Amino acid sequence: MTAVAAAETFRFGGMLRRLPSAVSESAQNAYGYARGGRKRLQPVGMTIDHDDVALARSLLRRQSAWRDREPVRRYEQAFAEWNGSAHAFAFMGGRKALTACIEALELLPGDEVIVPGFTCVLVPNALRFAGLRPIYCDIELDTYGPDLDSVRSRIGPRTRAILLQHLFGLVSRDYEAIIALAAERGLRVIEDCAQATGAKFKGRRVGTLGDVAFYSSERSKVYSTIVGGIAVTDNEKIADRLRRCATEWPAPSDDQVRRLLTSVIYDYFRFGHRLSPILEPLARIRFDWAVSENMSDAELAGSMPDDYRTTMAAPIAALGLNQLRKFDANLSRRIAGANAWRDWCLSQGYRPPTVVDGSEPVFLRYPVLVPPEMKADVSWARRLGVVPGVWFRTNIHPVPEPVPDCPNADRAVACCINMPTILEPR
Ligand SMILES: *Cc1c(COP(=O)(O)O)cnc(C)c1O
């Protein structure tokens, strides 16, 4: 989904149409680069480095091993251990991991799930594909998580679960209270940790307090395998059903795997290389064929893609393992970036996001509420050397689905921008 944000800057498809903007952006990058460091425009915080490229190249040469399930099992085990979860299962995307969570909780058609009215359409889509009804609740503006009182007000006789979302790498303010409310009302909690992989609350990673949780390693998330997702649980029954999805669903086609591995190289040259400002337009021309959209128009419009249910491919799991090893090093970079944005907020009179007591955010992005006109046109940020993220520009990004009675979510749609926290290539 956040690749959609990237696509706003880098229009996928139609190379000729795109080329002029590629050149002008690159010229600005080169200008900033020549002036040294900070002025380099950085639309996406990148965790793909040279060693990931070397790995992707070697994986591209070993196609005969792409169907091996062993690397996937190793990745799942490593993730579970690192996350402090009893079980982890890998899929080809966060939304697919969410689909497995829905199946594992045995939610039934017509059941209602409470979802924050400030999210990406692929979250309610995963619910609707399973015949469930998303019921939107409001968020709070401290951490952009679901608001406890609003969640409570949405509970009805058909409510079965709450989708507890952690955005921007922050730990949601009402985390514990919503878990307690769900327990009291006999509701399941699905944690959406797609943007907060690795964040901690009272020493435990997010995703370990709910019944089941999912994570994403889509290219713009906390760590990147270009596309990827994981579902975790401590519950043995839920784990059995997740395992069934992970073993029975098909793996992606070799063609898709080839595109993804090539995209690792592409992303590195676009964003991660010291000379990216110069290499980027060349990389666009050379690797354009490999780029696939994160969400097709059909999926945006609410129809389920044919390859929606897919388990993780072995080479993607190998990338995931390599990215996990570098997690802490990248987190230090993000924390340094977040500290810089915090100082910037204070100096400009903006309120920094809240780090709730006992939480250790991973600062995927640094969200800030600015006047609506500053979100409508973010070109003012060029002097800061960044391209702010504008997700979400509609409540159910990027579609105009109306969300009644969610004033805070509406305010975030109008005013919340997010700054990249990895500001320099390695
Ligand atoms: C990215 C994202 C997802 C889905 O992840 P994919 O890997 O793109 O399918 C779900 N929820 C939120 C909040 C996200 O940011």
**pLDDT computed for residue 35 by the predictor:** 40
370 touches 377 (CB < 8 A): no
Bridge partner list, 418: 367, 389
Per-residue buried b or exposed e for 305-315, using 16+ beta carbons within 10 Å of the residue's own CB: eeebbbbbbbb
Residue whose structure tokens are 């969570």 = 101
SS (H, E, C) 33-65: HHCCHHHCCCCCCCCCCHHHHHHHHHHHCCHHH
**pLDDT computed for residue 307 by the predictor:** 85
| Mutation probe of ligand 1 site: the residue of 44, 192, 217 with most atoms within 8 A of C-beta | 192
Question: Which residues neighbour 211 within 8 Å (Cβ) at sequence distance 6 or greater?
Answer: 105, 188, 189, 190, 233, 235, 238
Strands 112-116 and 133-137: parallel
User: Quick check: helix, strand or coil at residue 23?
Assistant: helix
Question: Which residues neighbour 336 within 8 Å (Cβ) at sequence distance 6 or greater?
Answer: none
Name which residue sits closest to atom 5 of ligand 1, judged by CA. Answer: 94
Respond yes or no on whether the N-terminal peptide bond of residue 392 is cis (omega within 30° of 0). yes
| Mutation probe of ligand 1 site: the residue of 218, 309, 311, 396 with most atoms within 8 A of C-beta | 218
Ligand 1 in contact with 295 (CB < 6 A)?
Answer: no
Atom of ligand 1 minimally distant from the CA of 192: 11
84 touches 231 (CB < 8 A): no
Name which residue sits closest to atom 6 of ligand 1, judged by CA. Answer: 94
Name which residue sits closest to atom 10 of ligand 1, judged by CA. Answer: 194
CA-wise closest residue to 98 among 210, 4, 220, 251: 210
Distance from Cα 194 to the centre of ligand 1, integer Å: 5
Q: Please report the DSSP string for 128-171 in residue order.
A: HHTT-EEEEE-B-TTTSPBPHHHHHHH--TTEEEEEEE--TTPP
pLDDT digit of tens for each residue in the chain (426 aa)?
A: 333 333 333 333 333 333 334 444 444 444 444 444 444 455 455 899 999 999 999 999 999 999 999 999 999 999 999 999 999 999 999 999 999 999 999 999 999 999 999 999 999 999 999 999 999 999 999 999 999 999 999 999 999 999 999 999 999 999 999 999 999 999 999 999 999 999 999 999 999 999 999 999 999 999 999 999 999 999 999 999 999 999 999 999 999 999 999 999 998 988 888 888 788 888 888 888 888 778 888 888 889 998 899 999 999 999 999 999 999 999 999 999 999 999 999 999 999 999 999 999 999 999 999 999 999 999 999 888 888 999 999 999 999 998 999 999 999 999 999 999 988 777
**DSSP 8-class letter at 311:** B
Atom of ligand 1 minimally distant from the CA of 195: 15
Atom of ligand 1 minimally distant from the CA of 227: 7
Distance from Cα 6 to the centre of ligand 1, integer Å: 14
Atom of ligand 1 minimally distant from the CA of 119: 13
Integer Rg of the chain from CA: 20
| Mutation probe of ligand 1 site: the residue of 99, 216, 219 with most atoms within 8 A of C-beta | 216
**pLDDT computed for residue 10 by the predictor:** 33
Atom of ligand 1 minimally distant from the CA of 218: 7
Strands 204-205 and 200-201: antiparallel
Atom of ligand 1 minimally distant from the CA of 221: 1
Atom of ligand 1 minimally distant from the CA of 96: 9
246 touches 232 (CB < 8 A): no
The token pair at 283 is 């990389």
Cα separation, 309 vs 90, in Å, equals 12
Flag whether the pTM goes above 0.75: yes
Q: What is the pLDDT of residues 8-19, one digit of tens each?
A: 333 333 333 333
Ligand 1 in contact with 353 (CB < 6 A)?
Answer: no
Name which residue sits closest to atom 4 of ligand 1, judged by CA. Answer: 94
